[in-house]
């Protein structure tokens, strides 16, 4: 078992089992709760793939999320009641790149962990229960459709990308959900839910040796041959699909989102380093400590919702900057000046050093959250980025790195604007 000291001076235990499953265990002395999460390296992006000796498979959008719903179903009812007997809660979530199943409990964590591994590996799908789920998922999509933050983000990606599946909503569309079949679901299940494509993390007051032997003993036996999955993505042009898009929704004031599309050229340690550099850069633009924030707030062009983020994976990379605003056009004009100013050698060493202290503290504080910590171990593992080097990489970043990244990445020729406006109210 590999042991690593994390920045809070606690020890992380890690091991890859003989069936290929990677396990992370972070003991937390004195805590009453145990959190466990089992994830597969499979998300909404994986809708076209091939295994050796078989045809290329195309499945409807939203299928990873559909599967996430269905794995809770058992022949007699659902798995919620079984976790409830120990007072535990169980849930799941799907992202662009992964699907995760989790529990949180203060009692019987060993039973919860065993059940988690068991139910994720026991699909019970019938024509009838798949049909029944469609009504529930459609209501989930409708809920998001009414949610302005979600709606504008989806719209931005839809117009940034031409072909790449990141342009589609994680849950798919009402139509793709209605067209999903048992066969589609099972094919994806059998392809992506192999232990070699999965990882498990436990955080709580647990003994690492006991945890690991429990996993080895109780993880469903795996005698099938594990196959190499080739994920296929369409070739994506460098430019954006639409440079300016608007839509209306029942909201109190307009929302503005500016997106920059980047070439996804980073892998491994470079990707993590780029994430750190860009998070500093984004804070220079949208952080409360930036002069631009004060300027925009004084001009009444942004609200508390003003923020910026860099999002990257070996398969995609983009940055997003946005806010609720009374005047999207005026905000866009000012923001253009601010970004162009920063690109012209205006990144100050003192600012970057101060922001590095902030990122250092935030990183330490993030280990207080069981969920965040466990999910970070797994997502960095899937992405192939060395999370344990985070603080060393942070120390190595300079103002010049940030300056250069802003110049290279915030390229107006690859930018797109999305605006949501309130619907006109006719009395």
Partner 1 sequence: MKFTERELTKGVRLHLCETDKFKSLTCKVFIQQELKDRDATSTALLPLLLRRGSERFPSTLQIARELEDLYAAEFGADVLKIGERQILEFYLQMVEPSLLPQGEELLERGLRSFWEIFTKPQGPGNRFVDSYFEQEKSTLEQDIKGLVNDKRSYAQVRLIALMCAEEPYGIYKYGDLKDLPGLKNQDVFAHYQKLLREHPIDIFCVGQNLEGVARLLSSLIPPRQETVELAPKTQSTVAEARYFEETMDVNQAILVLGYRTNCSYHDDDYYYALLVANGILGGFAHSKLFVNVREKASLAYFVGSGLEGSKGLLTITAGISPDQEEQALAIIAEQVKALQSGDITSEELEQTKRGITGAMTTITDSPAGVIDRNLLGLVEGEYRSLDQVVEAIWKVTHDDCVRVMQKIQLDTTYVLKSDGSKEGAEDATN
- Contact status: 209 vs partner 1 (CB under 8 A): no
CA-closest candidate to residue 247, choices 362, 159, 118? 159
Interface map 301-320 toward partner 1 (x if CB under 8 A): --xx----------------
Figure out which of the listed residues 135, 234, 268, 341 binds partner 1, where binding follows CB under 8 A: 135
Residue 238 interacting with partner 1 (CB under 8 A): no
Helix (H, G, I), strand (E, B) or coil at 72: coil
Nearer to partner 1, 230 or 371 (CB): 371
31 binds partner 1 (CB under 8 A): yes
Per CB under 8 A, the segment of 118-126, 335-343, 367-375, 409-417 that binds partner 1 is: 367-375
Helices (H), 146-181: 148-160, 174-178
368 is a site residue for partner 1 (CB under 8 A): yes
112 vs 240, beta carbon nearer partner 1: 112
Question: 91, 79 in Cβ contact below 8 A?
Answer: no
Q: How far is CA 274 from CA 11, 153, 291, 313, 393, in A?
A: 26, 22, 24, 11, 10
Binding to partner 1 (CB under 8 A) within 99-118 occurs at 104-107
Give the count of residues interacting with partner 1 (CB under 8 A). 71
Closer of 223 and 424 to partner 1 (Cβ):
424
Minimum CB distance to partner 1, residue 403 (Å): 19
Minimum distance of partner 1 from residue 389's CB (angstroms): 18
Q: Is 287 in the site for partner 1 (CB under 8 A)?
A: yes
Site map (CB under 8 A) of partner 1, residues 59-78, x = contact? -------------------x
Per DSSP, the residues of 335-391 read HHHHHHHHHTT---HHHHHHHHHHHHHHHHHHTT-HHHHHHHHHHHHHHT--GGGHH
Q: Please choose, from the candidates 243, 422, 239, 412, the residue with its C-alpha nearest in 3D space to the C-alpha of residue 335.
A: 412
Whether 246 and 419 have beta carbons less than 8 Å apart is answered as yes
Asked if 137 interacts with partner 1 (CB under 8 A), we say: yes
- Residue with smaller CB distance to partner 1, 80 or 244: 80
Residue from 58, 146, 210, 408 touching partner 1 (CB under 8 A): that is: 146
User: Rounded to the nearest whole angstrom, what is the least distance from the CB of residue 151 to partner 1 in the complex?
Assistant: 10
Say how many CA atoms lie within 13 Å of 298 toward its Cβ: 7
Reduce the DSSP state of residue 271 to 3 states and report it.
Answer: helix
Indicate whether 341 belongs to the interface with partner 1 (CB under 8 A).
no
Q: Is 124 in the site for partner 1 (CB under 8 A)?
A: no
Taking the complex as a whole, the smallest distance from the CB of residue 127 to partner 1 amounts, in Å, to 15
CB atoms under 10 Å from CB of 250, counted, come to 9
Per CB under 8 A, the list member of 288, 348, 396, 400 interacting with partner 1 is 288
Which entry of 10, 16, 55, 68 is annotated as an active-site residue?
A: 68
Which of 48, 284, 309 shows the shortest CA–CA distance to 164? 48
Residue 289 to residue 391: CA distance in whole angstroms: 22
- Residue 204 CB, nearest approach to partner 1 (Å): 9
Nearer to partner 1, 213 or 248 (CB): 248
Based on CB atoms, which residue is closest to partner 1, 17 or 138?
Answer: 138
Strand 11-16 and strand 34-40: pairing? unpaired
**Whether the Cβ atoms of residue 354 and residue 289 lie closer than 8 Å to each other:** yes
Residue from the set 199, 201, 251, 286 that interacts with partner 1 by CB under 8 A:
251
CA atoms of 204 and 105, how far apart (whole Å) = 10
Stretch that binds partner 1, among 88-96, 178-186, 383-391, 409-417 (CB under 8 A): 88-96
Q: What minimum distance in Å lies between the beta carbon of 242 and partner 1?
A: 23
Residue closer to partner 1 by CB (options 152, 245) is 152
Q: Active site includes 210?
A: no
Of 230, 237, 283, 257, which is closest to residue 405 (Cα–Cα)? 283
Closest CA to 158 of 93, 235, 98, 246: 246
Query: Minimum Å distance from CB 92 to partner 1?
Result: 11
Nearer CB in complex with partner 1: 149/386: 149
Beta strand spans in 163-292 (E): 198-204, 230-231, 244-249, 255-261
How do strand 198-204 and strand 22-27 relate by DSSP bridges? parallel
Q: How far is the CB of 80 from partner 1 (least distance, A)?
A: 4
Give 366: exposed, middle or buried? Use CB within 10 Å, 0-12, 13-18, 19+. middle
Catalytic residues: 68
């Amino acid at each position: 078992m590999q042991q690593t000291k994390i920045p809070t001076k606690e020890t992380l235990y890690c091991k890859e089992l003989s069936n290929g499953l990677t396990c992370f265990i972070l003991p937390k002395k004195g805590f009453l709760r145990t959190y466990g999460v089992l994830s597969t390296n499979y998300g909404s992006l994986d809708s076209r793939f091939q295994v050796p000796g078989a045809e290329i498979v195309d499945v409807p959008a939203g299928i990873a999320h559909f599967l996430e719903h269905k794995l809770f179903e058992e022949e007699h009812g659902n798995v919620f009641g079984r976790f409830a007997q120990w007072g535990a809660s169980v849930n799941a979530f799907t992202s662009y790149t992964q699907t995760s199943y989790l529990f949180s409990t203060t009692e019987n964590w060993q039973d919860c962990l065993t059940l988690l591994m068991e139910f994720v590996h026991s699909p019970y799908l019938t024509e009838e229960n798949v049909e029944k789920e469609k009504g529930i998922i459609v209501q989930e999509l409708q809920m998001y459709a009414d949610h302005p933050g979600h709606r504008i983000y989806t719209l931005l990606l839809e117009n940034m990308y031409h072909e790449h599946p990141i342009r589609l909503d994680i849950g798919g569309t009402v139509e793709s959900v209605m067209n999903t079949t048992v066969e589609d679901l099972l094919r994806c299940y059998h392809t992506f839910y192999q232990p070699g494509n999965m990882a498990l993390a436990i955080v709580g007051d647990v003994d690492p040796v006991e945890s690991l032997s429990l996993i080895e003993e109780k993880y469903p036996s795996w005698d099938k041959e594990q196959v190499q999955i080739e994920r296929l993505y369409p070739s994506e042009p460098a430019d954006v699909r639409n440079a300016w898009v608007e839509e209306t929704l029942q909201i109190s004031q307009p929302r503005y989102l500016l997106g920059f599309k980047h070439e996804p050229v980073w892998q491994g340690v470079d990707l993590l380093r780029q994430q750190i550099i860009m998070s500093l850069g984004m804070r220079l633009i949208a952080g409360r400590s930036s002069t631009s924030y004060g300027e925009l707030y004084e001009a009444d062009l942004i609200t508390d919702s003003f923020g910026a983020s860099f999002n990257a994976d070996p398969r995609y990379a983009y940055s997003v900057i946005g806010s609720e605003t009374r005047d999207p056009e005026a905000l866009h004009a000012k923001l253009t000046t601010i970004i162009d100013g920063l690109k012209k050698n205006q990144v100050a060493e003192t600012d970057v050093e101060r922001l590095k202290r902030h990122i250092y503290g935030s990183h330490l504080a993030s280990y207080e959250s069981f969920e965040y910590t466990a999910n970070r171990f797994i997502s960095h593992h899937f992405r192939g980025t060395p999370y344990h080097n985070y603080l060393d990489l942070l120390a190595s970043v300079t103002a010049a790195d940030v300056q250069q990244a802003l110049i290279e990445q915030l390229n107006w020729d690859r930018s797109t604007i999305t605006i949501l406006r309130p619907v006109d109210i006719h009395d």
